[in-house]
Structure 1
Amino acid sequence: MVYISSWDEFVERSIQLFKADPLSSRYVMKYRHCDGKLVLKVTDNRECLKFKTDQAQDAKKMEKLNNIFFTLMARGPTADITEVTGKEQPDMQPSKKGRGRRQ
């Protein structure tokens, strides 16, 4: 279990690992507040990929990776992940009017 130092390499290799065997792949996040460290781990019981960071800006990257994995898990390993932007658009609800007269 060697830590991968490059974020881009970790993302690419973890996606390939998941697509190769989606039924036995696992994705684990672990945060230690006392150390301020976030560790991400992707494994399929044969290969283990780990990424460790203490940078707050990597939280957005982690959120994007979560969305990629959610897409792959929901749509299947052959899903197109280029459309995943990492930010969901909330459904627009009609605005509620005040307690005035009805027209």
Structure 2
Amino acid sequence: MYLKTWKEFESASYNLILRDPTRVRCTMKYGHKESTVSLKVTDDITCLQFKTSDIQYVKKIEVFYSTIMRQITSSEL
């Protein structure tokens, strides 16, 4: 499901990761023709997506991915 706001996507993604960090996958895709960035976070049951063409989200995405990678790799397996 596509979430409309960044805050909604960010909090739902963090909640998904906290449930089971070993099953979560994150992808980012850039569409050159539309100049859009699509983010997807899934655990094969729930799929969260966010799409934007606004340049202001670049720094937010960078912080988001570094936080997610830290959570996934530092969690006890």
CA-atom RMSD in angstroms: 1.2
Counterpart-to-counterpart distance in 2, 1:58 and 1:71: 20
- Identity, in percent, stands at 36
List aligned pairs for 1:18-97, cutoff 5 A.
Answer: 18-76=17-75
CA-to-aligned-CA distance 1:11-59 (integer Å, 9 cap, x gap): 1110110111111110010101111010000000001000000001110
Shift of the alpha carbon at 1:67?
1.3
What amino acid is the match of 2:7? D
Structure ranking higher on relative contact order (CA contacts 8 Å, 6+ apart):
2
Shift of the alpha carbon at 1:73?
2.0
TM-score (norm 1): 0.70
Counterpart-to-counterpart distance in 2, 1:47 and 1:54: 24
TM-score (norm 2): 0.91
Segments of structure 1 that go 5 or more residues without pairing to the other structure are 78-103
Q: How many residues align?
A: 76
Over 4 Å off, 4+ runs: none
Contact 2:22/2:72, CA 8 A, preserved across alignment: no
